[in-house]
Structure formats: structure tokens, C-alpha cells
A and B are shown apart, each in its own frame.
Chain A
Amino acid sequence: TQLLEQSPQFLSIQEGENLTVYCNSSSVFSSLQWYRQEPGEGPVLLVTVVTGGEVKKLKRLTFQFGDARKDSSLHITAAQPGDTGLYLCAAPASYGKLTFGQGTILTVHP
């Protein structure tokens, strides 16, 4: 079973602060996805990274795929209350499935 370990599990910060969330594995992946889940809703895809070393930016969010394609990070600059939610990384698994990390619960206080 391919495991994705996310850290930290919980993050509580003030508006305007920066933060980084990590997603690590001992397995090599062809691609990795990041989802955000807001309270009361289902997860929504933010980005997919496919190339080792790739960096993608989505406004204040920066996603990086490790050179060896075993890990990824999500960096948020100047966090806002609207960034509050559960952040999940996911990678392709057997039989066409996705395996998800346990998630990072982010709370941004005004």
C-alpha cells in the first residue's frame, strides 16, 4: 500500500502569516494532486504536478513536486481566512484509484 504522510496535521495561524504543508512518501509517483476541502463540502482539486522539480503557482499558493517525485509541498503566502480548510494530497494508486493523505486542517484567524 502506498502511503502519503502529511504534516502538520493541524495548523492554526493569524491572517497574513506564511505556511508550508508537506506530503511525503517512500514511493515514487507519476503525478501528485492537491485538493482543498472547505467545511461542509467535498474536496476540490487545486493542482496536479507531474514533473520532478516542478513548481506551480496559483495566486498565493505555490506547489512543488520533489525532484525524485516522492514528496510535495504547498506554500501559502500571506494566508487569509478564506484559505481555511482541509488540504489533502493524493497520488495514483493501483486499479485506477487515488490514495489520499490524512490531510492538514488549516485555520486562519482574522
Chain B
Amino acid sequence: DAGVIQSPRHEVTEMGQEVTLRCKPISGHNSLFWYRQTMMRGLELLIYFNNNVPIDDSGMPEDRFSAKMPNASFSTLKIQPSEPRDSAVYFCASSLRQGGETQYFGPGTRLLVL
């Protein structure tokens, strides 16, 4: 099993640019989660999908952030425009079902906004 795949692994961009992070969940998993991790705030849930439908986006910081899941095997997290305070590691995770199931995390995308 390939596990959760994220791309890119590293992204360096300038303030104001659009950033798109990509995720391929484990095949057969019905739930997908986007997290942001920083030293100050730890691991924060941004949004989560179940069967490709957004269930809870209360963690999305502001309108600059958007996420889509057009099909069961692909999701994107977009930041437009990016700001230096968006610098963090962004993780995608998937689980077989919703409801406290084990989450399988990808390797993360390390984003630096200059």
C-alpha cells in the first residue's frame, strides 16, 4: 500500500502568491483530513471530508484558504494569497470511516512563505 501521498514535499513562495497543496488518500478510505502543524499551535484540523463532501471546515483560518475533493482519490488545499504567517507543515490524513478511526498521515508539505 502506497500510503497517503502529498505533493509537493517542500514549497517556498513569496507573499501574495497562490499555493496549491495536493493529497491522494489511501484507496478505499472514505474520510480525508487537512491539518496544519506549527510549533506554537501544534496540530490543527483545518477541514475534513467524508465521501468527498466537506463535513467540518470550522478550522479553516480565513477566506484565503479553500479545499476541494473532486473525487475519492484526490484533494487540494489552496491558499490565495499566501502570507508569511501561513508558513507551516501541512498534513493530509485519511481514515477508513469517520468517527474516531485511526488516521493515516501523509509525509506533509513544508510551506515557507517569504
A residues near B (Cβ < 8 Å) are 30-31, 33, 40-45, 48, 88, 90-98, 100-103
Please give, as numbers and ranges, the residues of chain B lying within 8 Å of A42 by CB-CB distance.
Answer: 4, 91, 93, 105-108
Instruction: Specify which of A43, A44, A97 lies most central, judged by the most chain B CB atoms within 10 Å of its CB.
Output: A97
Q: Which of A43, A95, A103 contacts B105 (CB 8 A)?
A: A43
* B35 CB, nearest partner CB in chain A, Å: 8
Look across to chain B and name the residue whose beta carbon is closest to the beta carbon of A6. Answer: B42
B99 touches A92 (CB 8 A): yes
B55 within 8 A of A: yes
Instruction: Specify which of A31, A41, A42, A45 lies most central, judged by the most chain B CB atoms within 10 Å of its CB.
Output: A42
Kindly identify, within residues 91 to 114 of chain B, every residue whose CB is under 8 Å from any CB belonging to chain A. 91, 93, 97-100, 102-108
A96 touches B42 (CB 8 A): no
Please give, as numbers and ranges, the residues of chain A lying within 8 Å of B99 by CB-CB distance.
Answer: 92, 96
Can you list, as one digit per residue, whether each of B28-51 has a CB less than 8 Å from chain A (1) or not (0)? 000101000000001101001010
Task: From known contacts A31-B100, A42-B108, A91-B100, infer whether A96 and B48 are also in contact, taking CB-CB under 8 Å.
Answer: yes
Q: Which of B42, B103, B106, B108 contacts A45 (CB 8 A)?
A: B103
- Closest 10 CB pairs between A and B? A96-B98, A42-B105, A92-B100, A102-B42, A96-B99, A100-B43, A95-B56, A45-B102, A43-B105, A42-B91
